[in-house]
Structures are given as C-alpha cells and as structure tokens.
Structure 1
Amino acid sequence: MQRMQTMVQWLNTTLLCLAGLCLMGMVFLACSNMVLRFFGHPVKGTFELMGFLGAMVGALALSGTQAGKGHIVISMFQDRFPARMRLGLDVLTSLICLAFFGLVAWQTWDLALSIREFEEVSETLQIIYYPFVLVVCLGVIALVLQIFVELVLLVGDRSRGGAS
C-alpha cells in the first residue's frame, strides 16, 4: 500500500505542476489578447483556448486538492456523532465518491473516444479537441485513485485501532 500511496502522491504532484503550467498559459493568453486587442489584432480563438485550458486546470488539480484536504467539507452535524459513526459515514462517503467519480471517468473516456471517432473539431480554430477531454479524464482518474488510497488508509487505521 505504501508503494501505491507514493505513486499517487507523485501523480498528484505532477498533475498539479501541469495544472500550474496550464494556468500560466491562461494568464499569458489573456494578457497577450488584451495587449494585441489594443492594437487591433486580438488572438483568434481566445475563448476556445481559455475554455480548454480552464478545463484542464480544474481537472488536473482535483486529486492534489483532495490530497491536501482543500475541498469544502461541511461537518457541523457529523462532528456531534460518536467516532465510530463518523468513521462509518467517512467510509460510506468515500465509497459513494468512488462510484460517482469512477462513473464520471468512464463517461469522460467514452466521450473522448466518441469525439475522436467522429473527428470533431473546435468551432473557431478547428482544433482536434479529444486530447483535452482525455486530460480531463486523467484528472478524474487521479481523483479516484486518491479517494481509494484515502479509503484504504481510513479502513486500515480503524482496523489497527486508530479511531475508537
């Protein structure tokens, strides 16, 4: 399990770095477009490119944010429950998240293959865009792996008497 945890941690770090590069690309593109628009030559397809880059930023940052406990958690009721019930709810929530995001990854993969099969391209720049959808799928798969690792650690901690 330690090896898988290390692998997922490396994957999270790598994907966060890629998300950061995409975000820097968005900043560069937005600034370039503003400056060039002032001179009457805006960047063609800025809206499309910002959409693709934004989707990749969001998807690539999912697992790293999950690992860093950066997602919103509302626990005002759960905090009042006994530790054993909280653990049960955490396990149930993790299982639901695994099922949901596993389904999202599967459907995103199918969408990418469908887009590739029909050779769909973006409207303005005519870019083949299924690779962007595959990157989003990769981000969701990484999230599923992160949730799985957290679930195994949660259950393993309980079996060793970590939460009473």
Structure 2
Amino acid sequence: MEFLEKFVRGLTWRTAQIAQVALAGVMLVIVANIILRGVWRPLPGTVEIVEILGAVLLALGVANCAVKKGHIAVGVLVDKLSQRKEALVESAVNFIALIFISLLAWETLYYAGQMMKRGYTTAHLLIPLHPFIYLVGFGFVMLAAVLLLESIKCLVAFSTTKGSEEE
C-alpha cells in the first residue's frame, strides 16, 4: 500500500510539473502574440497552441490537485458524523467518483483512437490532435488511481476505527 501511494504521489507530482511548464508556455505564447501584434503581425496559430497547452495543463494537473486535496469539499453534514461513518461516506463518494472518472477515461481514450484513425488535426497549424486527447485520457486514468487509493485508505480507516463509537 505504501509503495502504491508513493508511486501515485510521485507520478502526479511529475506530471504536475509538466503542467506547470504548459502554463508557462500558455503565458509565453499569449505575451508573444500581443507583442508581435503590435510590432509586426500576430503569432499564427495562437488559439490552437493555447487550446492544446490548456488541455495538457488540465490533464496533467488534476490528479495532483486530488492528491493534495486541493478541490472544494463541503462537509457540513459529514463533519457531524463519527469518524467511522465519515470514513464510510468519504469512501462511498470516492468510489462513485472513481466509477465516473474511469468511464470518462475509457471514453476519452476511445475517442483519441477514433481521432487518430480519422487523422484529425488543428485547422491552421495541422497539429495532430490524438496525442493530446490520449494525454487527457491518461490524466483521467491518474485521477482514477488517486480516487482508488483514497477509497482504499478510507475503507482502512473505517475498519480500524472502533465500531461502538458514539456520535
């Protein structure tokens, strides 16, 4: 379990670093486009490059956000429960999210395969789209791994807390 947790944390951290580079790339492309627009002419394909880098940013950053629990959580009702019940509720929520994210990953990877078969590219720069869609699918797979790990941790917490705990 500890090895799996270290592996997932390490992988999400490395991919988050790539996402940070993508964010810097978005900023550079936009600034370069603004400067070139004033001096000469706009950077060709700016919208396409920003869209692709935005997909990379989302895909490779979302799992790290989940690992660090950087998402918004409303615990008004759950906070009033015992630790055991809270762990059970959190495990159930993580499991439901795991199912949806897994389906999303599956369909995204399938869609990427269809885009590769059809040979879709961006309109102006003719950049193939399927590698970036595969990357988004990989990001969802990583998020599913994080959710699976969190579900397991919650179930372990549920089974190790006392069963006769008072509310």
Q: Structure 1 residue 147 and structure 2 residue 147: aligned?
A: yes
Q: Which residue of 2 aligns with 1:136?
A: 136
CA distance in 2, matches of 1:43, 1:130: 23
Secondary structure of the structure 2 residue equivalent to 1:125: coil
Query: Displacement, 1:96?
Result: 0.4
Q: Structure 1 residue 109 and structure 2 residue 109: aligned?
A: yes
Task: Number of aligned residue pairs: give it.
Answer: 164
Which runs of structure 2 are paired with 1:57-136 in the superposition (5 Å)? Answer: 57-136=57-136
TM-score w.r.t. the length of structure 1 is 0.94
Q: Which residue of 2 aligns with 1:53?
A: 53
The percentage of counterpart residues that share the same residue type is 25
Q: Structure 1 residue 21 and structure 2 residue 21: aligned?
A: yes
Q: Deviations over 1:102-140 (max 9, x none)?
A: 001000000100000011111121111110111111111
Secondary structure of the structure 2 residue equivalent to 1:72: coil
Query: Displacement, 1:51?
Result: 0.8
CA distance in 1, matches of 2:142, 2:162: 26
> For residue 83 of structure 1, what is the amino acid of its counterpart?
Q
TM-score w.r.t. the length of structure 2 is 0.93
- Range that drifts further, 97-106 or 149-158: 149-158
C-alpha RMSD of matched pairs (Å): 1.5
CA distance in 1, matches of 2:30, 2:158: 49
Query: Displacement, 1:81?
Result: 2.7
Query: Displacement, 1:162?
Result: 7.5
Secondary structure of the structure 1 residue equivalent to 2:41: coil
4+ runs deviating over 4 angstroms: none
- In structure 2, list runs of 5 or more residues that go unmatched: none
> For residue 27 of structure 1, what is the amino acid of its counterpart?
M
- In structure 1, list runs of 5 or more residues that go unmatched: none
Q: Structure 1 residue 39 and structure 2 residue 20: aligned?
A: no
